[in-house]
Chains A and B, each alone.
Chain A
Protein backbone atom coordinates (compact mmCIF):
# COMPACT_ATOMS: atom_id res chain seq x y z
CA UNK A 1 0.00 0.00 0.00
CA UNK A 2 1.03 3.57 -0.56
CA UNK A 3 0.71 6.20 2.14
CA UNK A 4 1.25 9.90 2.36
CA UNK A 5 2.90 10.97 5.58
CA UNK A 6 2.04 14.60 6.20
CA UNK A 7 4.17 16.84 8.38
CA UNK A 8 1.88 19.39 9.97
CA UNK A 9 2.89 23.03 10.14
CA UNK A 10 3.95 24.88 13.26
CA UNK A 11 4.40 28.52 14.19
CA UNK A 12 8.09 28.32 13.19
CA UNK A 13 7.47 26.52 9.90
CA UNK A 14 4.79 29.07 9.05
CA UNK A 15 7.25 31.86 9.90
CA UNK A 16 9.65 30.33 7.36
CA UNK A 17 12.22 29.62 10.05
CA UNK A 18 14.71 27.03 8.83
CA UNK A 19 15.44 24.06 11.07
CA UNK A 20 18.85 23.91 12.77
CA UNK A 21 21.79 22.25 11.04
CA UNK A 22 21.42 19.37 13.49
CA UNK A 23 17.72 18.91 12.71
CA UNK A 24 18.55 18.97 8.98
CA UNK A 25 21.26 16.35 9.45
CA UNK A 26 18.98 14.10 11.54
CA UNK A 27 16.21 14.30 8.95
CA UNK A 28 18.75 13.62 6.21
CA UNK A 29 19.81 10.43 7.93
CA UNK A 30 16.22 9.34 8.39
CA UNK A 31 15.52 9.95 4.71
CA UNK A 32 18.56 7.88 3.85
CA UNK A 33 17.21 5.03 5.97
CA UNK A 34 13.88 5.24 4.14
CA UNK A 35 15.59 5.11 0.75
CA UNK A 36 17.83 2.22 1.78
CA UNK A 37 14.81 0.29 3.01
CA UNK A 38 13.24 0.75 -0.41
CA UNK A 39 10.06 2.39 0.88
CA UNK A 40 10.51 6.05 0.01
CA UNK A 41 8.94 7.08 -3.30
CA UNK A 42 8.97 10.84 -2.84
CA UNK A 43 9.13 13.55 -0.22
CA UNK A 44 9.51 17.30 0.04
CA UNK A 45 9.03 20.33 2.21
CA UNK A 46 6.62 23.17 1.46
CA UNK A 47 7.12 26.89 1.87
CA UNK A 48 4.94 28.66 4.47
CA UNK A 49 1.32 29.31 3.57
CA UNK A 50 2.13 33.02 3.22
CA UNK A 51 3.60 32.05 -0.18
CA UNK A 52 0.51 30.04 -1.10
CA UNK A 53 -2.88 30.78 -2.56
CA UNK A 54 -6.27 29.17 -2.23
CA UNK A 55 -9.07 28.92 -4.71
CA UNK A 56 -12.49 28.69 -3.11
CA UNK A 57 -15.39 27.17 -5.01
CA UNK A 58 -18.76 28.26 -3.70
CA UNK A 59 -22.13 28.13 -5.46
CA UNK A 60 -20.50 28.37 -8.87
CA UNK A 61 -18.28 31.26 -7.86
CA UNK A 62 -14.50 31.04 -7.66
CA UNK A 63 -12.59 33.27 -5.26
CA UNK A 64 -8.83 33.54 -4.89
CA UNK A 65 -7.58 33.83 -1.32
CA UNK A 66 -3.99 34.83 -0.63
CA UNK A 67 -1.98 33.23 2.16
CA UNK A 68 -1.07 33.12 4.98
CA UNK A 69 -3.86 30.89 6.22
CA UNK A 70 -5.02 30.50 9.79
CA UNK A 71 -5.32 27.20 11.72
CA UNK A 72 -1.57 26.61 11.55
CA UNK A 73 -1.85 23.11 13.02
CA UNK A 74 -4.03 21.96 10.11
CA UNK A 75 -1.64 23.23 7.44
CA UNK A 76 0.88 21.04 5.65
CA UNK A 77 4.59 21.78 5.98
CA UNK A 78 5.93 18.73 4.17
CA UNK A 79 5.17 15.23 3.06
CA UNK A 80 6.55 11.85 2.13
CA UNK A 81 5.09 9.14 -0.08
CA UNK A 82 5.96 5.68 1.17
CA UNK A 83 5.34 2.22 -0.26
CA UNK A 84 4.72 -0.05 2.72
CA UNK A 85 3.14 -3.39 3.47
CA UNK A 86 0.67 -2.11 6.05
CA UNK A 87 -0.29 1.02 7.93
CA UNK A 88 1.41 -0.56 10.93
CA UNK A 89 4.67 -0.57 9.03
CA UNK A 90 4.18 3.11 8.14
CA UNK A 91 3.48 3.86 11.80
CA UNK A 92 6.63 2.00 12.85
CA UNK A 93 8.70 4.04 10.38
CA UNK A 94 7.02 7.25 11.55
CA UNK A 95 8.06 6.41 15.13
CA UNK A 96 11.67 6.39 13.95
CA UNK A 97 11.37 9.87 12.48
CA UNK A 98 13.39 12.48 14.36
CA UNK A 99 11.35 15.27 15.91
CA UNK A 100 10.30 17.16 12.76
CA UNK A 101 9.92 20.49 14.57
CA UNK A 102 12.35 20.52 17.49
CA UNK A 103 11.26 22.83 20.29
CA UNK A 104 7.61 22.85 19.21
CA UNK A 105 4.68 20.46 19.39
CA UNK A 106 4.18 18.88 15.99
CA UNK A 107 2.36 16.06 14.28
CA UNK A 108 2.81 13.51 11.51
CA UNK A 109 -0.35 12.26 9.85
CA UNK A 110 -0.43 8.99 7.89
CA UNK A 111 -3.02 8.73 5.13
CA UNK A 112 -3.36 5.70 2.84
CA UNK A 113 -3.86 6.31 -0.88
CA UNK A 114 -6.90 4.96 -2.65
CA UNK A 115 -5.93 1.71 -4.38
CA UNK A 116 -7.31 0.10 -7.54
CA UNK A 117 -9.94 -1.95 -5.77
CA UNK A 118 -11.33 1.15 -4.02
CA UNK A 119 -12.36 2.55 -7.39
CA UNK A 120 -14.57 -0.38 -8.45
CA UNK A 121 -17.99 1.15 -9.16
CA UNK A 122 -16.89 4.57 -10.56
CA UNK A 123 -14.34 2.97 -12.83
CA UNK A 124 -16.90 0.51 -14.12
CA UNK A 125 -19.29 3.36 -14.85
CA UNK A 126 -16.61 5.25 -16.76
CA UNK A 127 -15.66 2.22 -18.81
CA UNK A 128 -19.31 1.36 -19.45
CA UNK A 129 -19.90 4.87 -20.77
CA UNK A 130 -16.92 4.52 -23.09
CA UNK A 131 -18.11 1.11 -24.24
CA UNK A 132 -21.58 2.44 -25.02
CA UNK A 133 -19.98 5.22 -27.04
CA UNK A 134 -17.87 2.72 -28.95
CA UNK A 135 -20.85 0.44 -29.62
CA UNK A 136 -22.89 3.35 -30.99
CA UNK A 137 -19.99 4.31 -33.22
CA UNK A 138 -19.56 0.77 -34.54
CA UNK A 139 -23.28 0.43 -35.22
CA UNK A 140 -23.26 3.70 -37.11
CA UNK A 141 -20.28 2.49 -39.13
CA UNK A 142 -21.94 -0.83 -39.90
CA UNK A 143 -25.08 0.96 -41.10
CA UNK A 144 -23.15 3.32 -43.35
CA UNK A 145 -21.43 0.34 -44.98
CA UNK A 146 -24.71 -1.31 -45.91
Chain B
Protein backbone atom coordinates (compact mmCIF):
# COMPACT_ATOMS: atom_id res chain seq x y z
CA UNK B 1 0.00 0.00 0.00
CA UNK B 2 1.64 3.21 -1.13
CA UNK B 3 -0.92 5.85 -0.20
CA UNK B 4 -0.40 7.65 3.08
CA UNK B 5 -2.64 6.66 5.94
CA UNK B 6 -4.95 9.33 7.27
CA UNK B 7 -6.06 9.52 10.87
CA UNK B 8 -9.58 8.58 9.79
CA UNK B 9 -8.31 5.40 8.14
CA UNK B 10 -6.27 4.46 11.21
CA UNK B 11 -9.28 5.05 13.45
CA UNK B 12 -11.31 2.81 11.16
CA UNK B 13 -8.72 0.05 11.49
CA UNK B 14 -8.81 0.50 15.25
CA UNK B 15 -12.57 0.22 15.34
CA UNK B 16 -12.44 -3.00 13.36
CA UNK B 17 -9.46 -4.58 15.11
CA UNK B 18 -9.44 -3.35 18.71
CA UNK B 19 -11.83 -5.92 20.20
CA UNK B 20 -10.03 -8.86 18.59
CA UNK B 21 -6.66 -7.40 19.61
CA UNK B 22 -7.81 -6.94 23.20
CA UNK B 23 -9.38 -10.38 23.22
CA UNK B 24 -6.10 -11.98 22.20
CA UNK B 25 -4.09 -9.91 24.67
CA UNK B 26 -6.41 -10.63 27.59
CA UNK B 27 -6.05 -14.34 26.87
CA UNK B 28 -2.27 -13.99 26.91
CA UNK B 29 -1.68 -11.68 29.86
CA UNK B 30 -4.87 -12.44 31.85
CA UNK B 31 -5.20 -8.85 33.00
CA UNK B 32 -7.65 -6.42 31.38
CA UNK B 33 -5.73 -3.32 32.45
CA UNK B 34 -2.40 -4.59 31.14
CA UNK B 35 -4.00 -5.82 27.90
CA UNK B 36 -5.51 -2.39 27.33
CA UNK B 37 -2.19 -0.67 27.99
CA UNK B 38 -0.47 -2.95 25.48
CA UNK B 39 -3.18 -2.38 22.88
CA UNK B 40 -3.02 1.40 23.40
CA UNK B 41 0.76 1.36 22.99
CA UNK B 42 0.37 -0.57 19.75
CA UNK B 43 -2.14 2.03 18.55
CA UNK B 44 0.22 4.87 19.42
CA UNK B 45 2.99 3.15 17.44
CA UNK B 46 0.61 2.75 14.49
CA UNK B 47 -0.36 6.43 14.68
CA UNK B 48 3.35 7.31 14.54
CA UNK B 49 4.30 5.00 11.70
CA UNK B 50 1.33 4.45 9.43
CA UNK B 51 1.00 8.05 8.22
CA UNK B 52 4.45 7.50 6.66
CA UNK B 53 4.35 3.85 5.65
CA UNK B 54 0.69 3.48 4.85
CA UNK B 55 -1.56 0.91 6.53
CA UNK B 56 -0.01 -2.57 6.38
CA UNK B 57 -1.83 -5.26 4.38
CA UNK B 58 -2.86 -7.09 7.51
CA UNK B 59 -3.23 -4.32 10.10
CA UNK B 60 -4.74 -6.65 12.71
CA UNK B 61 -1.73 -8.95 12.67
CA UNK B 62 0.61 -5.91 12.73
CA UNK B 63 -1.08 -4.50 15.82
CA UNK B 64 -1.06 -7.89 17.53
CA UNK B 65 2.63 -8.47 16.77
CA UNK B 66 3.53 -5.00 18.05
CA UNK B 67 1.55 -5.46 21.26
CA UNK B 68 2.95 -8.95 21.73
CA UNK B 69 6.52 -7.66 21.43
CA UNK B 70 5.76 -5.15 24.14
CA UNK B 71 4.32 -7.91 26.31
CA UNK B 72 7.43 -10.03 25.87
CA UNK B 73 9.67 -7.03 26.62
CA UNK B 74 7.75 -6.34 29.80
CA UNK B 75 7.83 -9.98 30.82
CA UNK B 76 11.62 -10.12 30.33
CA UNK B 77 12.11 -6.93 32.27
CA UNK B 78 9.95 -8.29 35.06
CA UNK B 79 11.85 -11.58 35.10
CA UNK B 80 15.18 -9.75 35.23
CA UNK B 81 13.81 -7.62 38.03
CA UNK B 82 12.60 -10.71 39.88
CA UNK B 83 16.01 -12.31 39.42
CA UNK B 84 17.66 -9.16 40.71
CA UNK B 85 15.42 -9.38 43.74
CA UNK B 86 16.57 -12.92 44.42
CA UNK B 87 14.15 -15.01 42.41
CA UNK B 88 10.93 -14.37 44.26
CA UNK B 89 8.67 -16.85 42.56
CA UNK B 90 5.99 -16.62 45.18
CA UNK B 91 3.13 -14.85 43.43
CA UNK B 92 2.69 -17.48 40.73
CA UNK B 93 -0.09 -19.11 42.65
CA UNK B 94 -1.75 -15.86 43.61
CA UNK B 95 -1.91 -14.48 40.11
CA UNK B 96 -1.67 -16.45 36.89
CA UNK B 97 1.59 -15.55 35.18
CA UNK B 98 1.93 -14.58 31.55
CA UNK B 99 1.77 -17.69 29.45
CA UNK B 100 5.16 -18.64 28.07
CA UNK B 101 3.79 -20.01 24.82
CA UNK B 102 2.66 -16.62 23.51
CA UNK B 103 3.23 -17.66 19.93
CA UNK B 104 0.88 -20.63 20.17
CA UNK B 105 -1.63 -18.63 22.14
CA UNK B 106 -2.10 -16.16 19.29
CA UNK B 107 -3.48 -18.78 16.92
CA UNK B 108 -6.29 -19.83 19.21
CA UNK B 109 -9.88 -19.22 18.34
CA UNK B 110 -10.71 -15.55 17.81
CA UNK B 111 -14.37 -16.20 18.65
CA UNK B 112 -13.40 -17.50 22.07
CA UNK B 113 -11.28 -14.40 22.62
CA UNK B 114 -14.23 -12.11 21.93
CA UNK B 115 -16.57 -14.16 24.08
CA UNK B 116 -14.07 -14.12 26.94
CA UNK B 117 -13.71 -10.36 26.61
CA UNK B 118 -17.49 -9.85 26.67
CA UNK B 119 -17.93 -12.13 29.68
CA UNK B 120 -15.14 -10.41 31.61
CA UNK B 121 -16.39 -6.90 30.74
CA UNK B 122 -19.91 -7.90 31.83
CA UNK B 123 -18.82 -9.87 34.89
CA UNK B 124 -21.43 -9.85 37.69
CA UNK B 125 -18.87 -8.52 40.21
CA UNK B 126 -19.19 -5.18 38.41
CA UNK B 127 -22.08 -2.74 38.70
CA UNK B 128 -24.31 -2.45 35.62
CA UNK B 129 -22.99 1.05 34.89
CA UNK B 130 -19.39 -0.17 35.10
CA UNK B 131 -20.19 -3.13 32.86
CA UNK B 132 -21.77 -0.86 30.27
CA UNK B 133 -18.82 1.54 30.22
CA UNK B 134 -16.25 -1.25 30.07
CA UNK B 135 -18.13 -3.13 27.35
CA UNK B 136 -18.44 -0.06 25.13
CA UNK B 137 -14.76 0.65 25.67
CA UNK B 138 -13.40 -2.87 25.17
CA UNK B 139 -15.83 -4.26 22.60
CA UNK B 140 -17.39 -1.21 21.01
CA UNK B 141 -14.02 0.47 20.49
CA UNK B 142 -15.42 3.72 21.94
CA UNK B 143 -13.14 6.23 23.62
CA UNK B 144 -13.81 7.38 27.17
CA UNK B 145 -14.90 10.71 25.75
CA UNK B 146 -17.41 9.07 23.40
CA UNK B 147 -18.87 6.98 26.22
CA UNK B 148 -19.17 10.05 28.45
CA UNK B 149 -20.95 11.95 25.69
CA UNK B 150 -23.29 9.02 25.07
CA UNK B 151 -24.34 8.78 28.71
CA UNK B 152 -24.25 12.55 29.29
CA UNK B 153 -21.89 12.30 32.25
CA UNK B 154 -18.54 14.06 32.69
CA UNK B 155 -15.55 12.31 31.10
CA UNK B 156 -13.63 11.89 34.39
CA UNK B 157 -16.62 10.00 35.82
CA UNK B 158 -16.44 7.42 33.04
CA UNK B 159 -12.65 7.27 33.18
CA UNK B 160 -12.84 6.58 36.91
CA UNK B 161 -15.60 4.06 36.44
CA UNK B 162 -13.43 2.12 33.96
CA UNK B 163 -10.30 2.29 36.13
CA UNK B 164 -12.26 1.06 39.13
CA UNK B 165 -13.89 -1.70 37.10
CA UNK B 166 -10.51 -2.98 35.95
CA UNK B 167 -9.24 -2.91 39.52
CA UNK B 168 -12.32 -4.78 40.76
CA UNK B 169 -11.80 -7.47 38.12
CA UNK B 170 -8.14 -7.88 39.12
CA UNK B 171 -8.90 -7.95 42.86
CA UNK B 172 -11.73 -10.44 42.44
CA UNK B 173 -9.30 -12.61 40.44
CA UNK B 174 -12.01 -13.18 37.88
CA UNK B 175 -11.20 -16.36 35.95
CA UNK B 176 -10.40 -16.03 32.26
CA UNK B 177 -11.57 -19.46 31.14
CA UNK B 178 -14.51 -19.37 28.78
CA UNK B 179 -17.30 -21.36 30.45
CA UNK B 180 -19.18 -23.97 28.40
CA UNK B 181 -22.68 -25.32 28.27
CA UNK B 182 -24.92 -24.38 31.16
CA UNK B 183 -22.16 -22.40 32.87
CA UNK B 184 -21.96 -20.22 29.79
CA UNK B 185 -25.76 -19.82 29.63
CA UNK B 186 -25.73 -18.77 33.28
CA UNK B 187 -23.31 -15.94 32.51
CA UNK B 188 -25.25 -14.54 29.56
CA UNK B 189 -28.05 -12.68 31.40
CA UNK B 190 -25.57 -10.16 32.80
CA UNK B 191 -24.26 -9.59 29.26
CA UNK B 192 -27.73 -9.23 27.76
CA UNK B 193 -28.71 -6.82 30.51
CA UNK B 194 -25.80 -4.54 29.63
CA UNK B 195 -26.45 -4.61 25.89
CA UNK B 196 -30.14 -3.84 26.42
CA UNK B 197 -29.28 -1.07 28.87
CA UNK B 198 -27.08 0.57 26.24
CA UNK B 199 -29.80 0.13 23.61
CA UNK B 200 -32.48 1.59 25.86
CA UNK B 201 -30.34 4.54 26.79
CA UNK B 202 -30.26 5.29 23.07
CA UNK B 203 -33.87 4.33 22.35
CA UNK B 204 -35.49 6.43 25.03
CA UNK B 205 -32.81 8.63 26.45
CA UNK B 206 -33.57 9.07 30.15
CA UNK B 207 -31.92 12.47 30.27
CA UNK B 208 -31.12 15.36 27.99
CA UNK B 209 -32.85 17.05 25.08
CA UNK B 210 -32.63 14.37 22.42
CA UNK B 211 -35.28 11.70 22.61
CA UNK B 212 -33.18 9.15 20.75
CA UNK B 213 -29.42 8.80 20.59
CA UNK B 214 -29.04 6.76 17.46
CA UNK B 215 -25.34 6.07 18.00
CA UNK B 216 -26.00 4.18 21.23
CA UNK B 217 -28.70 2.09 19.57
CA UNK B 218 -26.27 1.28 16.77
CA UNK B 219 -23.52 0.37 19.24
CA UNK B 220 -25.86 -1.93 21.19
CA UNK B 221 -27.16 -3.56 18.03
CA UNK B 222 -23.64 -4.17 16.83
CA UNK B 223 -22.71 -5.79 20.15
CA UNK B 224 -25.83 -7.94 19.97
CA UNK B 225 -25.14 -8.98 16.39
CA UNK B 226 -21.57 -9.92 17.33
CA UNK B 227 -22.69 -11.89 20.39
CA UNK B 228 -25.37 -13.80 18.49
CA UNK B 229 -22.72 -15.05 16.09
CA UNK B 230 -20.56 -16.23 18.99
CA UNK B 231 -23.39 -18.16 20.70
CA UNK B 232 -25.99 -18.77 17.95
CA UNK B 233 -27.80 -21.49 19.90
CA UNK B 234 -28.71 -19.32 22.87
CA UNK B 235 -32.41 -18.52 22.52
CA UNK B 236 -32.40 -15.39 24.64
CA UNK B 237 -29.48 -13.88 22.72
CA UNK B 238 -31.48 -14.36 19.53
CA UNK B 239 -34.47 -12.94 21.39
CA UNK B 240 -32.65 -9.80 22.47
CA UNK B 241 -31.29 -9.23 18.96
CA UNK B 242 -34.80 -9.70 17.57
CA UNK B 243 -36.16 -7.22 20.09
CA UNK B 244 -33.52 -4.59 19.31
CA UNK B 245 -33.84 -5.02 15.52
CA UNK B 246 -37.62 -4.56 15.65
CA UNK B 247 -37.47 -1.62 18.06
CA UNK B 248 -34.73 0.00 15.98
CA UNK B 249 -36.91 -0.37 12.89
CA UNK B 250 -39.20 2.29 14.38
CA UNK B 251 -36.53 4.82 15.32
CA UNK B 252 -37.14 7.00 12.28
CA UNK B 253 -40.87 7.11 12.93
CA UNK B 254 -40.50 7.79 16.63
CA UNK B 255 -39.38 11.39 16.46
CA UNK B 256 -41.23 14.24 14.78
CA UNK B 257 -39.55 16.94 12.70
CA UNK B 258 -39.01 19.14 15.75
CA UNK B 259 -37.56 16.31 17.81
CA UNK B 260 -40.80 15.55 19.62
CA UNK B 261 -41.84 12.02 20.54
CA UNK B 262 -44.45 10.20 18.47
CA UNK B 263 -46.28 7.35 20.19
CA UNK B 264 -46.28 3.89 18.66
CA UNK B 265 -49.92 4.03 17.65
CA UNK B 266 -49.53 7.45 16.03
CA UNK B 267 -46.44 6.53 14.06
CA UNK B 268 -46.37 6.56 10.29
CA UNK B 269 -45.75 2.86 9.73
CA UNK B 270 -44.50 3.43 6.20
CA UNK B 271 -41.44 4.93 7.86
CA UNK B 272 -40.64 1.73 9.76
CA UNK B 273 -37.44 0.22 8.46
CA UNK B 274 -38.55 -3.01 6.78
CA UNK B 275 -34.99 -4.31 6.46
CA UNK B 276 -34.65 -4.27 10.25
CA UNK B 277 -38.18 -5.65 10.72
CA UNK B 278 -37.30 -8.64 8.54
CA UNK B 279 -34.02 -9.18 10.38
CA UNK B 280 -35.87 -8.99 13.69
CA UNK B 281 -38.61 -11.42 12.66
CA UNK B 282 -35.97 -13.88 11.42
CA UNK B 283 -34.09 -13.68 14.73
CA UNK B 284 -37.37 -14.12 16.62
CA UNK B 285 -38.12 -17.26 14.61
CA UNK B 286 -34.70 -18.66 15.54
CA UNK B 287 -35.25 -17.76 19.20
CA UNK B 288 -38.67 -19.43 19.27
CA UNK B 289 -37.29 -22.59 17.67
CA UNK B 290 -34.48 -22.83 20.25
CA UNK B 291 -36.37 -22.80 23.53
CA UNK B 292 -39.77 -23.27 25.12
CA UNK B 293 -41.08 -21.71 27.26
CA UNK B 294 -39.93 -18.39 25.87
CA UNK B 295 -37.55 -16.22 27.89
CA UNK B 296 -38.27 -12.58 28.73
CA UNK B 297 -36.36 -11.03 25.80
CA UNK B 298 -37.98 -13.38 23.32
CA UNK B 299 -41.43 -12.58 24.72
CA UNK B 300 -40.76 -8.86 24.40
CA UNK B 301 -39.55 -9.44 20.84
CA UNK B 302 -42.74 -11.40 20.13
CA UNK B 303 -44.79 -8.45 21.41
CA UNK B 304 -42.79 -6.04 19.26
CA UNK B 305 -43.34 -8.39 16.32
CA UNK B 306 -47.15 -8.21 16.79
CA UNK B 307 -46.87 -4.47 16.15
CA UNK B 308 -44.37 -4.91 13.31
CA UNK B 309 -46.69 -7.32 11.46
CA UNK B 310 -49.79 -5.11 11.77
CA UNK B 311 -50.45 -2.43 9.20
CA UNK B 312 -52.22 -0.28 11.78
CA UNK B 313 -53.31 -0.14 15.42
CA UNK B 314 -56.72 -1.57 14.50
CA UNK B 315 -55.13 -4.57 12.78
CA UNK B 316 -52.91 -5.38 15.75
CA UNK B 317 -53.49 -8.67 17.51
CA UNK B 318 -54.02 -7.12 20.96
CA UNK B 319 -55.32 -10.32 22.51
CA UNK B 320 -52.11 -12.10 21.54
CA UNK B 321 -50.16 -9.17 23.04
CA UNK B 322 -52.11 -9.47 26.31
CA UNK B 323 -51.34 -13.22 26.40
CA UNK B 324 -47.63 -12.51 25.86
CA UNK B 325 -47.70 -9.91 28.64
CA UNK B 326 -49.33 -12.48 30.93
CA UNK B 327 -46.32 -14.73 30.36
CA UNK B 328 -43.92 -11.83 30.87
CA UNK B 329 -45.57 -10.76 34.14
CA UNK B 330 -45.31 -14.36 35.29
CA UNK B 331 -41.53 -14.34 34.72
CA UNK B 332 -40.58 -10.81 35.73
CA UNK B 333 -43.17 -9.91 38.39
CA UNK B 334 -42.33 -6.36 37.37
CA UNK B 335 -44.87 -3.58 38.01
CA UNK B 336 -43.58 -1.79 34.88
CA UNK B 337 -44.51 -4.86 32.84
CA UNK B 338 -47.91 -4.94 34.55
CA UNK B 339 -48.42 -1.33 33.50
CA UNK B 340 -47.59 -2.23 29.90
CA UNK B 341 -49.95 -5.17 30.15
CA UNK B 342 -52.69 -2.78 31.25
CA UNK B 343 -52.16 -0.74 28.09
CA UNK B 344 -52.55 -3.88 25.98
CA UNK B 345 -55.68 -4.80 27.94
CA UNK B 346 -57.13 -1.36 27.18
CA UNK B 347 -56.69 -2.03 23.46
CA UNK B 348 -57.98 -5.60 23.58
CA UNK B 349 -60.85 -5.23 26.08
CA UNK B 350 -61.42 -1.49 26.56
CA UNK B 351 -60.11 1.30 28.80
CA UNK B 352 -62.41 0.61 31.78
CA UNK B 353 -60.92 -2.83 32.40
CA UNK B 354 -57.42 -1.41 32.04
CA UNK B 355 -58.10 1.46 34.44
CA UNK B 356 -58.90 -1.04 37.19
CA UNK B 357 -55.49 -2.67 36.63
CA UNK B 358 -53.70 0.68 36.62
CA UNK B 359 -55.47 1.88 39.75
CA UNK B 360 -54.25 -1.25 41.51
CA UNK B 361 -50.70 -0.16 40.67
CA UNK B 362 -51.07 3.32 42.21
CA UNK B 363 -49.79 2.17 45.59
CA UNK B 364 -46.85 0.27 44.06
CA UNK B 365 -43.74 1.86 45.57
CA UNK B 366 -41.55 0.89 42.58
CA UNK B 367 -43.71 3.12 40.37
CA UNK B 368 -44.05 6.08 42.73
CA UNK B 369 -41.79 8.29 40.60
CA UNK B 370 -42.44 6.62 37.26
CA UNK B 371 -43.92 9.21 34.91
CA UNK B 372 -45.51 6.61 32.64
CA UNK B 373 -47.95 5.56 35.38
CA UNK B 374 -49.86 8.88 35.42
CA UNK B 375 -49.28 9.13 31.68
CA UNK B 376 -51.02 5.82 31.00
CA UNK B 377 -53.72 6.63 33.53
CA UNK B 378 -54.28 9.98 31.82
CA UNK B 379 -54.60 8.25 28.49
CA UNK B 380 -57.23 5.81 29.81
CA UNK B 381 -59.20 8.58 31.52
CA UNK B 382 -59.14 10.62 28.33
CA UNK B 383 -60.49 7.68 26.36
CA UNK B 384 -63.24 7.27 28.95
CA UNK B 385 -64.15 10.92 28.44
CA UNK B 386 -62.99 11.92 31.95
CA UNK B 387 -60.90 14.78 30.54
CA UNK B 388 -60.62 16.85 33.70
CA UNK B 389 -58.97 13.97 35.56
CA UNK B 390 -56.94 13.08 32.46
CA UNK B 391 -55.48 16.59 32.26
CA UNK B 392 -54.38 16.43 35.89
CA UNK B 393 -52.68 13.07 35.28
CA UNK B 394 -50.83 14.34 32.18
CA UNK B 395 -49.63 17.36 34.15
CA UNK B 396 -48.46 15.13 36.97
CA UNK B 397 -46.65 12.89 34.46
CA UNK B 398 -44.98 15.92 32.85
CA UNK B 399 -43.66 17.09 36.20
CA UNK B 400 -42.07 13.66 36.72
CA UNK B 401 -40.53 13.17 33.23
CA UNK B 402 -36.76 13.61 33.02
CA UNK B 403 -36.52 13.98 29.26
CA UNK B 404 -37.57 17.41 27.97
CA UNK B 405 -39.08 16.02 24.75
CA UNK B 406 -41.25 13.60 26.67
CA UNK B 407 -42.28 16.40 29.01
CA UNK B 408 -43.36 18.51 26.05
CA UNK B 409 -45.47 15.68 24.66
CA UNK B 410 -47.23 15.21 28.01
CA UNK B 411 -47.94 18.92 28.41
CA UNK B 412 -49.38 18.93 24.89
CA UNK B 413 -51.75 16.16 25.86
CA UNK B 414 -52.78 18.02 29.01
CA UNK B 415 -53.56 21.09 26.91
CA UNK B 416 -55.49 18.97 24.41
CA UNK B 417 -57.71 17.73 27.27
CA UNK B 418 -58.28 21.30 28.34
CA UNK B 419 -59.20 22.40 24.82
CA UNK B 420 -61.65 19.52 24.52
CA UNK B 421 -63.20 20.61 27.84
CA UNK B 422 -63.51 24.19 26.57
CA UNK B 423 -65.19 23.02 23.38
CA UNK B 424 -67.75 21.09 25.37
CA UNK B 425 -68.61 23.90 27.71
Q: How far is the CB of B88 from chain A (nearest CB, A)?
A: 43
Residues of chain A with a CB closer than 8 A to B9's CB: 88, 91-92
- Find out whether the CB atom of B229 lies under 8 angstroms from the CB atom of A38: yes
A15 within 8 A of B: no
Interface residues of A in 89-130 (CB under 8 A from B): 89, 91-93, 116, 120, 123-124, 127
Q: How far is the CA of A97 from the CA of B339 in the complex (A)?
A: 49
Q: How far is the CA of A42 from the CA of B258 in the complex (A)?
A: 31
Interface mask (B215-252 → A, CB under 8 Å = 1, otherwise 0): 00010011111100100000000000000000000011
Q: How far is the CB of A70 from chain B (nearest CB, A)?
A: 31
A36 within 8 A of B: yes
- Find out whether the CB atom of B12 lies under 8 angstroms from the CB atom of A35: no
Q: How far is the CA of A86 from the CA of B9 in the complex (A)?
A: 10
Interface mask (B293-304 → A, CB under 8 Å = 1, otherwise 0): 000000000000
B256 within 8 A of A: yes
Residues of chain A with a CB closer than 8 A to B279's CB: 41
Q: How far is the CA of A114 from the CA of B156 in the complex (A)?
A: 35
- Find out whether the CB atom of B218 lies under 8 angstroms from the CB atom of A89: no
- Find out whether the CB atom of A85 lies under 8 angstroms from the CB atom of B15: yes
Interface residues of B in 161-210 (CB under 8 A from A): none
B13, B229, B255, B258: the one within 8 Å of A36 (CB): B229
- Find out whether the CB atom of B16 lies under 8 angstroms from the CB atom of A36: no
B8 within 8 A of A: yes
- Find out whether the CB atom of A116 lies under 8 angstroms from the CB atom of B222: no
> Dominant SS at the A interface?
helix
- Find out whether the CB atom of A89 lies under 8 angstroms from the CB atom of B15: yes
- Find out whether the CB atom of B12 lies under 8 angstroms from the CB atom of A89: yes
Residues of chain A with a CB closer than 8 A to B11's CB: 86, 88
Interface mask (A56-80 → B, CB under 8 Å = 1, otherwise 0): 0000000000000000000000000
Interface mask (B387-425 → A, CB under 8 Å = 1, otherwise 0): 000000000000000000000000000000000000100
Residues of chain B with a CB closer than 8 A to A42's CB: 275
Q: How far is the CB of B184 from chain A (nearest CB, A)?
A: 18
Interface mask (B1-36 → A, CB under 8 Å = 1, otherwise 0): 000001011011101100000000000000000000
B365 within 8 A of A: no
- Find out whether the CB atom of A127 lies under 8 angstroms from the CB atom of B16: no
Q: How far is the CB of B131 from chain A (nearest CB, A)?
A: 19
Q: In the complex, which of the residues A36, A39, A91, A127 has the most CB atoms of chain B within 10 Å of its own CB atom?
A: A36
Q: List 18 A-B contacts (CB under 8 A).
A: A35-B225, A36-B226, A36-B229, A38-B225, A39-B225, A83-B221, A85-B12, A86-B11, A86-B12, A88-B11, A88-B12, A89-B12, A92-B16, A120-B257, A123-B257, A124-B257, A127-B257, A142-B423
Interfacial residues, chain B to chain A (CB-CB below 8 A): 6, 8-9, 11-13, 15-16, 111, 214, 218, 221-226, 229, 251-252, 255-258, 275-276, 279, 423
Seed contacts A39-B222, A85-B15, A127-B256; 4 additional CB < 8 Å A-B pairs: A36-B229, A88-B9, A91-B12, A92-B16
